[in-house]
Amino acid sequence: MEEYLKGKYDAQVELISSGGGVFEVRLDEKLIFSKKSLGRFPEHSEIDDLINNNIV
């Protein structure tokens, strides 16, 4: 996912190791996906959709 996002969006992507199965995606400090709060991993293209919906 990290390399994919870097290539598609020419973005600075940082993978931060964590415990407890936490998986979060932030865009400009804004949390746009949280596995912890939703209880699941993102579905196919969900991260793309969230990024595109939050870029104005």
Quote the pLDDT of residue 45: 92
* CB-based contacts of 46-53 (< 8 A; 24+ apart in sequence): 47/1, 47/5, 48/8, 50/25, 51/5, 51/9, 51/27
Q: Is the pLDDT of residue 56 over 70?
A: no
pLDDT tens by residue, 8-46? 888 888 877 788 888 888 888 889 999 989 999 999 899
Quote the pLDDT of residue 16: 78
